[in-house]
Structure formats: C-alpha cells, structure tokens
Amino acid sequence: MEIAIPDALLDAARQAQHIAVLTGAGVSAESGVPTFRDAQTGLWAKFNPQELATREAFARNPKMVWEWYAHRRALVAQAAPNAGHYALVEMEKRAPRFTLITQNVDGLHARAGSQNVIELHGNLFRAKCFREDVPVPNWVDDGQIPPRCPRCGSYLRPDVVWFGEALPPRALAAAFDAARTCDVFFSIGTSGAVEPAASLPFDALRHGATVIEVNPEETPLSNRATFTLRAAAGAALPKIIAREQWIKNG
C-alpha cells in the first residue's frame, strides 16, 4: 500500500531546528525482534514480560530471569538493523539538532550508526550487580547462572530498567528536555503503554512541537498527534528521507 506523506509534514521536518524521536519495540519488529505485545514463544510463551521484568521475579528465580534475557540477547544478536533504523541515522545527519530517545534495550539504533542514543530503559548487552546496582563490564563466566559479581559475589543482572524501578536520571532529564525544546517530535513504533516514556510526546505537544506518530496501529497518542502515518516504520521513514525537498536542506 502506497504511504502518503503530507507535504505539510515534510515542511515541518525540513524547517525544524531540533528534531526529537522516541522509538519503541515496533521499530525493531521488521528486524525480527518480537515486540512486547507479540506473544512470547516457546519456553517463554506462558510468561507475561511485565512479570518477568521485575526485581521480584529475579529475586524469586534469578536463573530463569537471566535465561530469559540470554534468550532475548540471542534473538537480537541474530537480527540486523532495518530500513527504519537506517532512515533515522540519515535524519540525524540532516537535522540541525537531533535527539534519539529509545525504550528499546536491543542496541539496534547504535548498530545502525545512530549517535548518542538515549537508552531510557537500559541495554540487554550490559550487566550490573544485583546488590550494589553498579555496572559490571567484565565477569568470569564460570558456568554459574546468573554469573556472579567479581566484587561482592552477588548475582549479576541485566542493566535494564525493570518495572517499578526508576529510569536513569540523566537519560530521563535529557529526554524530557528534548521533548520540551524540539520543533518536531516523532513517536515511532510505540504503544505508549509504559510511563514515564509515554508522556514524552504529550509533553512535546504541550510545548508547541509538531508531533508525528508512525505506527500501523492506533495508540492513545493517535487522535492528539499533528500527523499520524498508519504504516510500518521501515516503509514510512525511508519515504520521508527520500522526498526531494529534504535533501536541499542537508
């Protein structure tokens, strides 16, 4: 299906001094990484991700939760960034100021070449000490699952933000600062179900930004956004980048 990109949307993007982008699991869907909405498969089919992604679940069964994250790391390691990720790399090169905020923990934006990605919810490929809550870059893989903290011997856990946990303060502040100072705010591939990330596009609206949603499905933002592209990110974003006028501004 041909996606119509309104000229007014392109004008707004072309004239923007600062473009901010929020992404969710949908931007990685075309890379084969299941979204949070997608039913889990195999071993994990009977688990609700929101129940596994908590301190309580890890305390109850650290081995199971560690293995769930190892399963997700293996999925992502086999995946590659898609056209949606690469279009955002291009957008970053063209916009006078560009801020990329992601809820994704898969690291695919950085793998595509995006710079200074604000990872609001952490990253699957980093670990930290469950007790001391400090990053642990290297640990001895002696077969223990989860592996142990080389300093205090406690369990290691993935360096992601679990439900009920605070987001990294500097990342959160930078994200809200971008939402409040940008001219154009893209909300791409997110259901807008998880706070405080879900508030960002509404904050941008309150501060007068043009808000553009890219999502094949309706979300709570849809009837408030300035423009809604009911399309896959991997189809819509390259089209926005490709349109002639944009290049003149590059």
The reply to whether 24 sits near ligand BV8 by the rule CB under 6 A is: yes
What φ, ψ does residue 131 adopt, rounded to 5°? -85, -50
Q: Is 121 in the active site?
A: yes
Distance CA 46, CA 39 (A): 9
Residue nearest to ligand BV8 (CB): 26
The reply to whether 161 sits near ligand BV8 by the rule CB under 6 A is: yes
Query: Minimal distance in Å, beta carbon 132 to ligand BV8?
Result: 17
What φ, ψ does residue 229 adopt, rounded to 5°? -100, 105
Instruction: Calculate helix-pair angle for 233-242, 83-94, nearest 10 degrees.
Output: 30
**Which residues in 111-140 contact ligand BV8 (CB under 6 A)?**
121
Sign of the C-alpha dihedral, residues 174, 176, 180, 186?
positive
One of 22, 204, 225, 233 touching ligand BV8 (CB under 6 A): 233
- Write out the two tokens for 13: 């993007």
The reply to whether 165 sits near ligand BV8 by the rule CB under 6 A is: yes
Query: Of these residues, 85, 109, 121, 207, which one is catalytic?
Result: 121
The reply to whether 225 sits near ligand BV8 by the rule CB under 6 A is: no
Query: Minimal distance in Å, beta carbon 17 to ligand BV8?
Result: 26
* Closer residue to ligand BV8, CB minimum distance, 3 or 247: 3
Query: Minimal distance in Å, beta carbon 162 to ligand BV8?
Result: 6
Burial class (CB in 10 A: 0-12, 13-18, 19+), 234: buried
Number of residues binding to ligand BV8, judged by CB under 6 A: 35
Please check whether residue 237 is in contact with residue 13, taking contact to mean a CB–CB distance below 8 angstroms.
Answer: no
Distance CA 191, CA 47 (A): 20
The reply to whether 25 sits near ligand BV8 by the rule CB under 6 A is: yes
Q: Cβ atoms within 10 A of the Cβ of 164, count?
A: 9
Query: Rounded to the nearest 10 degrees, how much is the dihedral formed by the CA atoms of 250, 27, 162, 211?
Result: 60
One of 5, 35, 111, 139 touching ligand BV8 (CB under 6 A): 35
Query: Minimal distance in Å, beta carbon 244 to ligand BV8?
Result: 24
One of 64, 174, 194, 205 touching ligand BV8 (CB under 6 A): 194
Q: Cβ atoms within 10 A of the Cβ of 142, count?
A: 7
Q: Identify the CA nearest to 207 among candidates 217, 219, 199.
A: 199
One-letter identity of residue 74: A
* Closer residue to ligand BV8, CB minimum distance, 50 or 61: 50
Query: Minimal distance in Å, beta carbon 250 to ligand BV8?
Result: 25
Positions touching ligand BV8 (CB under 6 A) are 24-26, 29-30, 35-37, 50, 53, 103, 105, 121, 160-166, 189-191, 193-195, 197, 214-217, 219, 232-234
The residues carrying an active-site annotation are: 121
